[in-house]
Chains A and B, each alone.
Chain A
Amino acid sequence: MVRPFLDDTAQVAVPARAPIDPPAEIRPYLQTAGRVRPLGDLELEAQVVTTALGRAELLHLKFEQRDIVALCLIPNSVAEVAAKLHLHLSVARILAADIAAEGYLSIVRPDFGGRSRAETLERVIRGLEAIS
């Protein structure tokens, strides 16, 4: 199934630049083609970052896909993607998972980056202690 905004045959007027303010009244299920849960829920804090492919394809992407891929040239959490692009949190999750599945985004999930929980806690303690 091709989601409407991925279907190149449907030549709708694509704005030259990502819209600054997405329309507020688009129903969430229209943005996600009816899906209500992502395949495997992404954590709110999971990091979303644009891949080389996403960077290369940026200008060919549309609407929320382009907004997300452009935003995530710098890593952002799923929650930040939602807040910064004014998307409902569940919409941001689904879109991020979908775009990642297409190879334009990579996702770093909170698995302590291969470190142990204890080591992670130590580093967080040191990091907080450094705040002045």
Chain B
Amino acid sequence: MDSKQSPSPAVRRAPTPVKLVIAGGFGVGKTTTVGAISEITPLTTEAAMTVAGAASDQLGRTPDKTTTTVALDFGVITIDEAIKLYLFGTPGQDRFGFMWHDLTFGALGALVIVDTERIDDCYAAVDYFEQIKLPFVVGINMFDGKPKHSMQEIRWALNIGDHVPLVLFDARERLSVRDALLEVVRTARESLT
């Protein structure tokens, strides 16, 4: 909660915002992850997302485009007096629209959450982050206890290089989420050098 809101007459100075993206398939625990560490109850806003329609490449036709409204969940962490960290969950959809550019543009990095029962749900996010060269970490959400596959098997299934950190975490646990986010920011720092 914002505990330091003094109603001073002076115009307030806004902090510098930075953001991390929390990605992964539908129902994988993105909102739980954001909620576990955000100092506000995660907020939801409606956003338009333009998606290219599937199987529409008939000769002479432009691809169908559909605009859908997606719910965008996000939370906030006050880092210090001058920096506010926003956590944006990607809408739980497979397809990418302009929304993804908005979400990732200027982001420090991303956490891709994986459910080991449905590993392929996160392929789209992994592909996208690799393509735009956004530093990311794969986080295996252990809400069901231990993962049913070894880390090597998961790494193989994801086809990610050794440079991509793989972490186990529990989306319900504040400190576990903190450690996963720390891994993301450290990875981003290493990618600078």
Chain A contact residues, CB within 8 Å of chain B: 41, 43-52, 55, 73-75, 77, 79-80, 82-84, 87-90, 92, 106, 108, 110-113, 115, 117-118, 120-129, 131-132
How would you classify the secondary structure of chain B's contact residues: helix, strand, loop or mixed?
A: mixed
Give the 7 A-B CB pairs with smallest separation, nearest first.
A127-B79, A113-B16, A47-B14, A83-B43, A75-B14, A45-B17, A82-B45
Complex Cα–Cα for A83 and B79 (A) = 22
Known contacts A88-B47, A131-B174, A108 near B79 by CB under 8 Å: no
Contact size range, B: 35 or more
Q: What does the 1/0 interface line of B64-78 toward A look like (CB < 8 Å)?
A: 000000001010111
Complex Cα–Cα for A54 and B2 (A) = 22
Known contacts A47-B84, A55-B11, A123-B79, A128 near B178 by CB under 8 Å: yes
Counting residue pairs across A and B whose Cβ atoms lie within 8 Å, the total is 142
B82: contacting residue among A84, A110, A113, A118, CB under 8 A? A113
Known contacts A44-B88, A131-B178, A90 near B16 by CB under 8 Å: no
Complex Cα–Cα for A94 and B184 (A) = 32
Complex Cα–Cα for A47 and B19 (A) = 12
> CB of B83 within 8 A of chain A?
yes
B185: contacting residue among A41, A43, A128, A132, CB under 8 A? A128
Contact, CB under 8 Å: A44 / B79: no
Complex Cα–Cα for A121 and B17 (A) = 12
Known contacts A47-B14, A88-B46, A113 near B83 by CB under 8 Å: yes
> CB of B108 within 8 A of chain A?
yes
Neighbouring B residues of A108 by C-beta, 8 Å: 14-17
**Closest CB in chain B relative to A97 CB, distance in Å:** 14
Complex Cα–Cα for A50 and B13 (A) = 9
**Closest CB in chain B relative to A41 CB, distance in Å:** 7
B43: contacting residue among A48, A80, A90, CB under 8 A? A80
Complex Cα–Cα for A50 and B131 (A) = 38
> CB of B48 within 8 A of chain A?
yes
Neighbouring A residues of B106 by C-beta, 8 Å: 43, 45, 110
Contact, CB under 8 Å: A123 / B80: yes
Neighbouring B residues of A118 by C-beta, 8 Å: 189, 192
Contact, CB under 8 Å: A120 / B182: no
**Closest CB in chain A relative to B180 CB, distance in Å:** 10
Known contacts A128-B79, A131-B37, A121 near B188 by CB under 8 Å: yes
> CB of B12 within 8 A of chain A?
yes
**Closest CB in chain B relative to A90 CB, distance in Å:** 6
Complex Cα–Cα for A47 and B43 (A) = 16
